[in-house]
Amino acid sequence: MRKSVLSRLPKIVLALLIQFFVLGILAIGVWVVHYWIAPPYPLWLLVGLQGLLAAVLSCKLGLPCWWRWIQFFLPVGLYLGISFQLGGIWALVGFLLLYLVFFNASKERVPLYLSNDTTREALKTLAEKYQEVRFLDLGSGLGGTVAFMSQLPNVERADGVETAPLPYLLSKILTTLKGGEIYWMSLWKADLSQYNLVYAFLSPEPMPKLWHKVITEMQSGAIFVTNSFAVPDVKPTEIWELEDSRQTKLFIYQIEDEGQVASALKLSALQTG
């Protein structure tokens, strides 16, 4: 099937099709190899290849790349569960932990992405534009960025919003110890008008709707920064390419004047309409 056709399938269906496809490839491979190397073959090796190939194909065939972890650990987890004769209760515990961490992936199609130290240093540089910074992290994950920003001398407040249960709990503990504040709140309910530096590391899915919220609520002169995922059809004020292993790009949008906001609102209405 063509990639465009595959991309229209539900994500879970596509993931399972990839697993079955890889299983078929491995079956053919084992049949060919037996002419040179006599079986049996190490089961752990075949399971590892299954997970690795499924993870690689997931990114190539239309699944968001964060699915590669699910695709890899699905066969590996099943293998370990059978090998160690783990009861069904452990499978339930594993599922619940994944749900608590990736809660937003099913609801908002936003996985858990963590910002690295290089990105935080770049945000620190951006914060130097202001004497008093009011920082907000939309989808603050484990809270590391909020805690980091709270310790800068020119940061008046550093907040984050998070709804995934386990990351929220861990980030609440971290910010209690190191500074900043995390709120159990959807990013759609956050009042952006209170902040002059807003940061997001989400996914392509919510960007058009989020841009509408940004230009509706943020004040002139404020800065909106999105990690890796640009706002579609909107030219950023700057693009920073960071020197890290991810080759991270920060798309920086400065809210300048009422005319810009009116124009952007019109474009955003066309995108979301």
CATH number for the domain running over 117-272: 3.40.50.150
Question: What is the pLDDT at residue 160?
Answer: 95
CB 271, CB 208: distance < 8 Å: yes
| pTM of the predicted model as reported, rounded to 2 decimal places | 0.66
Cα–Cα distance for residue pair 136/217, rounded to 1 Å: 13
Q: Give pLDDT, residue 79.
A: 77
Rounded CA-CA distance 144/122 in Å is: 14
Q: Identify the residue whose tokens are 């987890």.
A: 77
Q: In tens digits, what is the pLDDT along the chain, a chain of 273 residues?
A: 445 556 566 666 778 888 899 999 999 988 888 888 888 888 888 888 998 999 888 877 767 666 777 788 878 877 777 777 766 565 555 555 555 555 555 555 556 677 889 999 999 999 988 889 999 999 888 899 999 999 999 999 999 999 888 888 889 999 999 999 999 988 999 999 999 999 999 888 888 999 999 999 999 999 999 998 999 989 999 999 998 877 889 999 998 755 555 555 555 555 545
What pLDDT, on a 0 to 100 scale, did the predictor assign at position 1? 43
Which residues are paired to 182 by β-bridges? 160
Which residues of the chain does CATH 3.40.50.150 include? Answer: 117-272
